[in-house]
């Protein structure tokens, strides 16, 4: 039976200058009296001595202002997680010191120095929130179907987006977005009918992001089945963060970046004479560009490959029956890429060498310190690709032969070794295991093991893959992220998943993906581990905060991390896929429903 989601209060906020005419004059006359917090029944985000004022709102809600932020207290809230809410700078307030409060119904005006915040508590369903977030993404983040994030030229002004953007993992993030929108379309198709305007809108954007993903599998023009991380049009700056080939006729040349100079391969040439399907090329040709001058990013990782295969399987199943042309491109793309991996000896070859992080060979597993720890995840990844190719094409041949060979070589059993090898590797480095988590691996494990548990029909192998998935419980399920927990539940029936706790993510996500740090020195949580390296350091806190009280990020970041405000002052907006991916999976498979 589905867990039923109810309408819920969601934060909406805006910061004004103190002299803005919209601000009620009563705010500046409000009496500031410190609240009596003796015997308060819950831990508070600020010390009791730091609270300087309060205001009473509707239905017994009290707002408490402190020198270190704003607290909302609803003693009668149905969910215990909602009884205490915290608001802080620079996301909800201009500064953390609250000077005065004025409650208006469910909302509050907050004076902080020369700025005033207006915080509204808006009642929304989780589906309404999904649609609001999607509209924001389509307007501010999406570029030619790709969805990652977009920088802002002015802090806090989402209208000031840069006309261009770049991402190290465009394929991964866009695939996650496309999957969410494909399931979005399928839910509305079944609920409202295929011709309903909402259904058609969902189909439009699902198809566009699907095409954008597939374009990355062709934009390079290489005869073999390579995948680009991202691409840039000739009028967009090429960032100095990796290897970029620029197309010129039938060859592409490696541009001058720090990485290409360090390796001494500036100007390296590679063929680019394989035709790009016209349907995909329209994403940039309709804007007036040709193939020449396009810069695509190489040194592709297993992140992209794994995400593409999960996306192609789902797109084939749901979009394929209504879009045969798209389905044929999917079949060609997945076969060409798998052939490239097989021809490369289970490694992704970039011109003259394997890429840094896309290796699934026994050589890598046995000769690299990273390979020993990566092996369980990477073994599952390549087995899942082969399963997807057979599922999509209906062919066996070389795919089944290779799959069986890898199973005979121990790849299936190797998938069950993650827990042991991860902790062995961390301890060998002399650090606490939880400090060495690579959070992006949680998504890759989810993608590959969900595929294997869905597509494998042999009972013994299926049991092995479910055992492998169980081995990720300690790293995946600590996040209480429905984007991980729903696929886990679908893959390992009977597993102990707290659906109500997972759904806190939907209730307490805001209606914007504006990126701005929220964490401060809170009195109700403690710092613990510190991860460091490459000039950065990261503290964890002792409790997982609600999504509206922690920094917005993708699935590849630590949700327990304390983000320094100087790192995220408010200069970007993220895509919505971390919400919509999970939400529409849950709706499609009947794990959740709306009241």
The tokens for 523 are 């009195």
With beta carbons less than 8 A apart as the criterion, state whether 276 and 211 touch. Answer: no
Q: With contact defined as beta carbons under 8 Å apart, do 336 and 319 qualify?
A: no
**Residues ≥6 apart with Cβ < 8 Å to 551:** 515, 516, 517, 518, 519, 561, 563, 568
CA torsion sign for 362, 363, 364, 369 is positive
Peptide bond connecting 90 to the previous residue in cis, omega within 30 degrees of 0: yes
CB 276 within 8 A of CB 215: yes
* Cβ–Cβ < 8 Å for 3, 502: no
pLDDT at 534: 54
Return the pLDDT at 520: 63
Q: Show the DSSP H helices in 14-111 as ranges.
A: 26-29
pLDDT at 323: 98
User: Cα separation of 461 and 401, whole Å?
Assistant: 16
Kindly give the residue spans of alpha helices, DSSP state H, lying in 410-540: 411-414, 418-428, 439-455, 459-470, 473-476, 482-491, 499-502, 504-508
Q: How many residues does the chain have?
A: 595
Structure tokens at 79: 């969910």
Give the other-Cβ count within 10 Å of 345's Cβ.
14
Provide the pLDDT for residue 463.
98
pLDDT at 531: 66
pLDDT digit of tens for each residue in the chain (595 aa)? 899 999 999 999 999 999 999 999 999 999 999 999 999 999 999 999 999 999 999 999 999 999 999 999 999 999 999 999 999 998 999 999 999 999 999 999 999 999 999 999 999 999 999 999 999 999 999 999 999 999 999 998 999 999 998 888 999 999 999 999 999 999 999 999 999 999 999 999 999 999 999 999 999 999 989 999 999 999 999 999 999 999 999 999 999 999 999 999 999 999 999 999 999 999 999 999 999 999 999 999 999 999 999 999 999 999 999 999 999 999 999 999 999 999 999 999 998 899 999 999 999 999 988 899 999 999 999 999 999 999 999 999 999 999 999 999 999 999 999 988 888 877 777 666 666 678 889 999 999 999 999 999 999 999 999 999 999 998 888 899 999 999 999 999 988 899 999 999 999 999 999 998 876 678 998 877 666 655 556 778 888 999 999 989 899 888 888 877 777 788 999 999 999 999 999 999 999 999 8
To which H or E segment does residue 150 belong?
Answer: strand 149-151
Instruction: Identify which of 170, 191, 185, 146 has the alpha carbon closest to the alpha carbon of residue 323.
Output: 185
Q: Which sign does the torsion angle of CA 516, 521, 525, 529 carry? A: positive
H or E stretch at 348? strand 347-350
Q: Which helix (H) or strand (E) holds 14?
A: strand 8-17
- Its sign, for the CA torsion 188, 193, 194, 198, is negative
- What are the DSSP E strand ranges found in 21-114? 51-56, 62-66, 69-73, 84-87, 100-104, 107-112
Contact 356, 301 (CB under 8 A): yes
182: nearest Cα among 312, 330, 315, 326: 315
Strands (E), 483-550: 514-515, 527-533, 536-541
Q: Which residues of 101-123 are buried (b: 16+ CB within 10 A; e: fewer)?
A: bbbeeebbbbbbeebbbbbebbe
CB–CB of 449/468 below 8 Å?
A: yes
- Write out the H or E segment, with its range, that includes residue 32: none
């Amino acid at each position: 039976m589905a867990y039923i989601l109810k309408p819920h209060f969601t934060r909406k906020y805006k910061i004004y200058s103190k002299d803005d005419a919209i601000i009620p004059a009563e705010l500046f006359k409000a009496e500031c009296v410190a609240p009596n917090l003796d015997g308060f029944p819950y831990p508070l985000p600020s010390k009791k001595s730091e609270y300087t004022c309060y205001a009473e709102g509707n239905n017994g809600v009290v707002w408490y202002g402190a020198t270190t932020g704003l607290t909302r207290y609803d003693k009668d809230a149905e969910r215990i997680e909602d009884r205490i809410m915290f608001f802080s700078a620079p996301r909800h307030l201009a500064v953390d010191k609250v000077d005065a409060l004025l409650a208006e119904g469910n909302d509050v005006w907050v004076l902080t120095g020369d700025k005033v915040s207006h915080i509204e508590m808006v009642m929304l369903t989780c589906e309404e929130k999904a649609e609001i977030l999607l509209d924001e993404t389509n307007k501010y983040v999406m570029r030619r179907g790709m969805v990652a994030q977009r920088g802002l030229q002015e802090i806090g002004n989402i209208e000031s987006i840069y006309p261009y953007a770049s991402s190290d993992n465009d394929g991964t993030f866009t695939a996650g977005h496309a999957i969410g929108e494909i399931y979005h379309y399928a839910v509305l198709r079944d609920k409202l009918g295929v011709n309903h305007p909402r259904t058609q809108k969902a189909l439009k954007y699902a198809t566009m992001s699907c095409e954008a993903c597939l374009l990355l599998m062709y934009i390079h023009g290489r005869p073999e089945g390579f995948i680009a991380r991202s691409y840039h049009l000739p009028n967009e700056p090429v960032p100095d963060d990796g290897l970029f080939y620029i197309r010129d006729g039938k060859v592409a040349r490696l541009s001058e970046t720090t990485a290409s100079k360090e390796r001494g391969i500036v100007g390296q040439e590679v063929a680019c004479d394989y035709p790009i399907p016209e349907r995909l090329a329209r994403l940039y040709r309709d804007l007036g560009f040709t193939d020449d001058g396009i810069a695509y990013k190489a040194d592709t990782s297993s992140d992209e490959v794994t995400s593409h295969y999960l996306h192609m399987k789902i797109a084939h199943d749901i979009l394929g029956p209504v879009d045969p042309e798209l389905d044929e491109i999917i079949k060609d793309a997945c076969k060409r890429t798998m052939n490239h991996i097989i021809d490369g000896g289970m490694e992704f070859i970039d011109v003259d060498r394997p890429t840094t992080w896309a290796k699934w060979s026994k050589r890598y597993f046995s000769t690299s310190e990273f390979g020993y720890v990566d092996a369980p995840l990477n073994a599952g990844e390549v087995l899942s690709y082969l399963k997807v190719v057979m599922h999509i094409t209906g062919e066996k041949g070389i795919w089944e032969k290779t799959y069986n060979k890898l199973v005979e070589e121990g790849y299936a059993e190797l998938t069950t070794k993650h827990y042991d090898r991860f902790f062995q590797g961390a301890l060998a480095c002399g650090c606490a295991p939880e400090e060495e988590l690579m959070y992006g691996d949680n998504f890759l494990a989810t993608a590959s093991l969900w595929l294997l548990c869905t597509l494998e029909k042999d009972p013994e192998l299926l049991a092995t893959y479910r055992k492998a998935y169980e081995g990720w419980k300690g790293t995946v399920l600590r996040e209480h992220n429905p984007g991980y927990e729903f696929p886990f539940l679908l893959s390992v029936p009977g597993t102990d998943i707290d659906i109500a706790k997972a759904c806190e993510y939907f209730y307490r996500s805001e209606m914007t993906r504006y990126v701005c740090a929220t964490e401060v020195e809170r009195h109700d949580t403690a710092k613990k581990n510190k991860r460091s390296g490459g000039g950065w350091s990261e503290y964890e806190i002792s409790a997982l905060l609600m999504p509206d009280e922690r920094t917005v990020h993708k699935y590849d970041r630590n949700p327990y991390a304390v983000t320094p405000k100087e790192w995220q002052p408010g200069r970007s907006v993220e895509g919505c896929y971390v919400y919509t991916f999970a939400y529409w999976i849950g709706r499609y498979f009947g794990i959740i429903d709306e009241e």
